[in-house]
Amino acid sequence: MNALAIAVDNAPWQRRWRRFRRNRTALSGLYVLVALIVFSLAAAPLEALLGIDANNADLLSRFDGRSATNWLGHDELGRDVLIRLMYGGQVSLGVGIAATLLGAVIGISIGLAAGYFGGNLDALLMRFTDGIIALPLLPLLIVLAAIDLTKLGFSADFARSSAASFYRIVLIIALIDWTRIARLVRASTLSIREREFVLAARVSGAGTVRILLRSVLPNVIAPIIVACSQVLGSVILFEAVLSFLGFGIAPPTPSWGNMLNNAQELVATAPMLAIYPGLLIFITVIAVNFIGDGLQDAFDPRAE
Amino acid sequence: MFFLRRLLGMAIVLLAMSFVVYGLIGLMPGDPIDLMVMSNPGITAADADRLRALYSLDEPLVTRYGHWLIAALQGDFGFSRVYAQPVLDIIGPALWQTTKLVALTLVISSILATALGILSALRPGGKIDTLVSFISFAGISLPSFWLALILILTFAVWLGWLPASGMGRPGEEGFLGNARFLILPVTTLVIANIGGVTRYARSALIETLRMDFIRTARAKGAREPRVVLRHGVPNALSSVITVIGMNFGTLFSGALITETMFAQRGLGKTIYDAILGNDYNLALVALLFATFATLIGNLLADLACAWLDPRISVI
Amino acid sequence: MTALLSVKDLTISFPVGRVNLFTGHRRAIHAVQDVSFDIASGETLALVGESGCGKTTAGRAIAGLYKAPKGAISFRGQDILDLPRASRRTVRRAIQMIFQDPFSSLDPRMTVSEILSDPLKVNGIGNAQEIRERVQDLIGQVGLPADTLNRHPHEFSGGQRQRIAIARALAPEPQIVVADEPLSALDVSVQSQVLNLLGALKRQRGLSYLFISHDLAAVHHIADRVAVMYLGRLVEIAGRDALFAAPRHPYTQGLLAAVPRIGHRRRRRSLIEGDLPGPLAIPSGCGFHPRCPLAKDICRRERPELKSHAGDRAHLAACHFAGEAL
Ligand SMILES: Nc1ncnc2c1ncn2[C@@H]1O[C@H](COP(=O)(O)OP(=O)(O)OP(=O)(O)O)[C@@H](O)[C@H]1O
Ligand code: SF4
Ligand SMILES: [Mg+2]
């Protein structure tokens, strides 16, 4: 009985999954993304297996070619390229997912507030959102990333640490990537707040917070998922370019962006050092975008 | 009325932006007086304090911002620390350089995107459509700095056909001499830009082709390519312009990347260098000009749309 | 006898369109205007009228769904539009609502048990064990089996869903239930079952209903008194039998004439002709004059007051000629 009820209740999700699966590009995107995640997570085990230390600079083996333990050779400081690419993947994907989720929290809050309360608050919040969307965001991000954390009262040690650079880039990207999610959540909230089950909850005495969390939010999950999947790609690109420009993840912690830091000068001597990280970014983002596109179709209410 | 409201909105955005960035700059590494002290060992601690008072750095943020704003409204945007020139003298040529880059990109990518959109929309789901859609996704997903790197590697390092960077030597500044330097940056920006625009053009066209007047034209026996050209293209073009208008900010971000990669002194690179070099006044004003240009771009795109599509009335 | 619920001069407008840049105002739809009526304990007042005349809006205002309606609504003599935050929920509990469309009034993501226990939880009624018992009790009272509770709304038919919605409305132990066209979304075959359920619950619990409907047969079956609305205003209100037997307002007469099967004296006049004017263009004088077969000059100039005309003091009508022999 119970199992049946749950199975039936999952029907919309099963339908969506079936529609998603039919989309071959989206499905391959998903496979590629899973493979990339496995690739990144395999860094530490592989490092141990090969008995090398990817952070260990060894100037004697700069630019050395492949070998039995260094499958993709060495970089300009003699570090193992493959393992650093794998660790870089953890950082790049980690920043991407964390900043998208944090941005989603901001976007959901703003979208719910604007859509549910409407009126002047809605007008104000949406003007604000449109204003942010129109701005040239990269220079703004650079300004935010250039802030000296010690002037905000953090210790100098923390400010220089790569943990700080991780949190900072997650935070500043989240500060600008919420807009799309906010607009989608607002639009869905607007339509849901007039639905009779929400009115019924109000009549029965439920407070605003309870209604938002229990009646509205669960019913806007689908558009949120679609929006997040579409935002993730651009977030990964933002992390890459900021780290590349020296405003993101601080070396020696590798990210796919900052592994390209020196690539421009080295492009003639060691082109592969410039090609690998960029190729990984490209493959990741295109996979994510294919997934996002597939989710959009699969979650399209007109198809339900 | 609409026009006035837009201008008012722009003014508000610029004001808010200038205040926020002005405040953020106070949080950037280095203190202007310290920087002066560093570059001139003759300055004593007492001098430094006097300087601080002179630049009213000891006053609260809002007061300082007020002074700055009043001066700025009178056209005095202050000096660049690094270049020791009025910032406007630096921003002028940079703005012109960026405008060239962006304008070329816009023209080329609008034409290409419309053409690709038409090719896709003729047979949605067909082979060409699949290919175009793949290209669009690739364009959206390419990190443009890396694309620039690959283009440099291919055309400057390996093939040696084009210069890797710079804007031309003083002697060969004529348009053609200059154009050689623009080929790779514009290519980069077009590729980065075209994916999103094409997807938009395609869906707008498919929508249009479903609309009634097109069906009527078809029913009257007009041939397919003719129908698409007569009715589809204007519609596709106006939606291309809409999406370009909405994405001016993104375009400028792209310009920052390409200018930095190809060492072209446009507005984007000016901002980037200014922040790296602690030249904050220059960074602030350049960023405001970039924002202003972006907003003007949005507005122009809206006006162009209204002009192309009589159904939308914006004024 | 003081009324359980008393509505006085209730007026509700919705701003529509853009703010006028010169005056700073927006145009407004007056969905409900100067509506007054009382409901006694245990009484069912039916609210009838054409689509768009403001029935739902009035019902929702009484259920507390609009922020600041004009006029006054009092429950047991207490003004409920201006309650302090603290007591709002306890007073409001007494007025619950059943919605028109049971397909959208139940949250698709909740189980029936959650749907029924939520009102108890938010009102702080009982501990977990008590809530479980009451929920089982409720589902039994509306005639559904206990295993309904673990299932989701989409597994039920319209009639079953409406029973669930009724159970939810009953959960906080209300004294008045606003039932907004509770039958109109249901198959004809189940309409009478739900109607009988409503009647039985009323008798068992001594409930009052504001029963919104345009099904005059159902109204005749369940109502004690009937109020007729037209373009946001009450045009007639009377005891059920008086209204069905001798309607005084031409609009009511037209409504009843459209339903011959009730079996009362067949009217000679045919249906009301013409279209309902838009809510933004309410006619001057008597709102009904463009469609009224009896309209005279005065009807265009002066709005008739809602008042008693002859004999029956509880029979009010808003027509200049309601007192004349028809
Ligand atoms: N939120 C709103 N905003 C603007 N106008 C509204 C709103 N709600 C209702 N209206 C308008 O108020 C008028 C009365 O609507 P209401 O729903 O109360 O009518 P009704 O008598 O219940 O009709 P029906 O029989 O179709 O349910 C209608 O003209 C409607 O368009
Ligand atoms: S007042 Fe006049 S128009 Fe209105 S209902 Fe009576 S007779 Fe008709
Ligand atoms: Mg209604």
Q: How far is the CA of A301 from the centre of ligand 3 (A)?
A: 26
Kindly tell me if the per-residue pLDDT of B295 is higher than 80: yes
Instruction: Tell which atom from ligand 2 comes closest to the C-alpha of C298.
Output: 2
Please give the domain boundaries of chain C with CATH numbers for all domains: 3-104+175-183+208-317 (3.40.50.300)
Which of A141, C196, C1, A19 shows the shortest CA–CA distance to C182?
Answer: C196
pLDDT one-digit tens code per residue, C286-300? 888 888 888 888 888
Q: How far is the CA of C300 from the centre of ligand 1 (A)?
A: 25
Higher-pLDDT residue of A148, B224: A148
Chain A CB contacts of C109 below 8 Å: 218-219
pLDDT for residue A133: 86
Query: How far does B217 lie from chain A, in Å, by closest CA?
Result: 28
Q: In the numeric block, which tokens belong to residue B231?
A: 């009715």
Minimum-distance CB partner of A5 among C99, C152, C171: C152
Question: Is A281 inside any structural domain?
Answer: yes
Question: Is A7 inside any structural domain?
Answer: no
Touching subunits of A (3+ CB pairs, under 8 Å) are B, C
Q: In the numeric block, which tokens belong to residue A122?
A: 């809605």
pLDDT for residue C228: 95
Q: Which of A14, A193, A196, A214 to mutate to test the interface with C (most CBs of C within 10 A)?
A: A196
Chain A CB contacts of C107 below 8 Å: 197, 201, 215, 219
Q: At C27, phi and psi to the nearest 5?
A: -65, 155
Q: How far is the CA of C273 from the centre of ligand 2 (A)?
A: 14
Chain A CB contacts of C26 below 8 Å: none
The whole-angstrom separation of Cα A222 and Cα A215 is 14
Kindly tell me if the per-residue pLDDT of A191 is higher than 60: yes
Chain B CB contacts of A151 below 8 Å: 26-29
Q: How far is the CA of C214 from the centre of ligand 2 (A)?
A: 21
Question: Is A152 inside any structural domain?
Answer: yes
Of A66-80, B291-305, C296-310, minimum mean pLDDT range: A66-80
Kindly tell me if the per-residue pLDDT of A174 is higher than 90: yes
Question: Is A189 inside any structural domain?
Answer: yes
pLDDT for residue C154: 87
Q: In what order do the strands lie in the sheet with C5-16?
A: C27-39, C5-16, C70-75, C78-79
Nearest CA in chain A to B137: A286
Structural domains counted in chain A: 1
* For range C1-27, the mean pLDDT: 76
Asked if C105 lies within 8 A of A200 by C-beta distance, the reply is yes
Question: Is A188 inside any structural domain?
Answer: yes
Whole-number average pLDDT of chain B: 78
Whole-number average pLDDT of chain C: 86
What ipTM describes this predicted complex? 0.88
Question: Cβ-count burial of A233 within 10 angstroms (0-12 exposed, 13-18 middle, 19+ buried)?
Answer: buried
pLDDT one-digit tens code per residue, A105-160? 999 999 999 999 988 899 889 888 988 888 888 998 998 888 888 777 777 777 77
The CA distances from residue B41 to B30, B32, B70, C323, in Å, are 16, 14, 33, 105
Residue whose CA is at the smallest distance from ligand 2 atom 4: C286
pLDDT for residue B165: 65
Identify the nearest ligand to the CA of A194 by its number: 1
pLDDT for residue A43: 75
pLDDT for residue A60: 64
Q: In the numeric block, which tokens belong to residue A155?
A: 């210790």
CB atoms within 10 A of CB B62: 11
Touching subunits of B (3+ CB pairs, under 8 Å) are A
Query: How far does B10 lie from chain A, in Å, by closest CA?
Result: 9
The whole-angstrom separation of Cα C81 and Cα C78 is 9
Asked whether the bond before A252 is cis by omega within 30 degrees of 0, the reply is yes
Per DSSP, B169 falls in state: -
Q: What would the 3-class secondary structure string for chain C be?
A: CCCCEEEEEEEEEEEECCCCCCCCCCEEEEEEEEEEEEECCCCEEEEECCCCCCHHHHHHHHCCCCCCCEEEEEECCEECCCCCHHHHHHHHCCEEEECCCCCCCCCCCCCHHHHHHHHHHHCCCCCHHHHHHHHHHHHHHCCCCHHHHHCCHHHCCHHHHHHHHHHHHHCCCCCEEEEECCCCCCCHHHHHHHHHHHHHHHHHHCCEEEEECCCHHHHHHHCCEEEEEECCEEEEEEEHHHHHHCCCCHHHHHHHHCCHHHCCCCCCCCCCCCCCCCCCCCCCCCCCHHHCCCCCHHHHHCCCCCEECCCCCCCEECCCCCCCCC
Q: What residues does ligand 2 touch, defined as CB less than 6 Å away?
A: C 249-250, 286, 288-289, 292, 294-295, 299, 304, 319-321
Q: Is B22 at the interface with chain A, CB within 8 A?
A: no
The whole-angstrom separation of Cα B61 and Cα C52 is 57
Q: Residue type at B257?
A: I
Q: How far is the CA of B210 from the centre of ligand 2 (A)?
A: 50
Question: Is A128 inside any structural domain?
Answer: yes
Q: How confident is residue A219, by pLDDT bands cut at 50, 70 and 90? A: confident
Chain B CB contacts of A260 below 8 Å: 145-146, 149
Bridge-based pairing state of the strands C44-48 and C225-230: parallel
* CA trace torsion B151, B154, B158, B161 (10° rounding): -70
pLDDT for residue C99: 94
Q: In the numeric block, which tokens belong to residue A206?
A: 């439920």
* For range C125-137, the mean pLDDT: 90
Q: How far is the CA of C218 from the centre of ligand 1 (A)?
A: 22
Question: Is A127 inside any structural domain?
Answer: yes
Query: How far does C181 lie from chain A, in Å, by closest CA?
Result: 13
Non-local CB neighbours of A35 within 8 Å, separated by 6+ positions:
none
The whole-angstrom separation of Cα C295 and Cα B231 is 53
Question: Is A18 inside any structural domain?
Answer: no
Size of the A and C interface in Cβ pairs below 8 Å: 72
The whole-angstrom separation of Cα C306 and Cα B211 is 52
pLDDT one-digit tens code per residue, B73-124? 887 777 777 777 888 888 888 888 888 888 889 889 888 888 888 888 777 7
Asked if C96 lies within 8 A of A201 by C-beta distance, the reply is no
Residue whose CA is at the smallest distance from ligand 1 atom 10: C31
Residue whose CA is at the smallest distance from ligand 1 atom 16: C54
pTM (predicted TM-score): 0.83
Domain ranges of chain B: 2-73, 87-308
pLDDT for residue A239: 92
User: What architecture (CATH level 2) is domain B87-308?
Assistant: Orthogonal Bundle (1.10)
Q: In the numeric block, which tokens belong to residue B124?
A: 């949605």
Residue whose CA is at the smallest distance from ligand 1 atom 18: C54
Chain A CB contacts of C96 below 8 Å: 203-204
pLDDT one-digit tens code per residue, B142-177? 998 898 888 888 877 777 676 666 655 555 555 555
C70 beta partners: C11
Q: What CATH number has the domain bearing residue A251?
A: 1.10.3720.10
pLDDT one-digit tens code per residue, C235-272? 999 999 999 998 999 999 988 887 655 444 444 444 56
Instruction: Give the domain range for residue A239.
Output: 35-50+70-303
pLDDT for residue A35: 92
First to last CA, chain A: 25
pLDDT one-digit tens code per residue, B26-54? 787 766 666 666 666 666 777 777 766 66
Of A286-290, B155-159, C69-73, minimum mean pLDDT range: B155-159
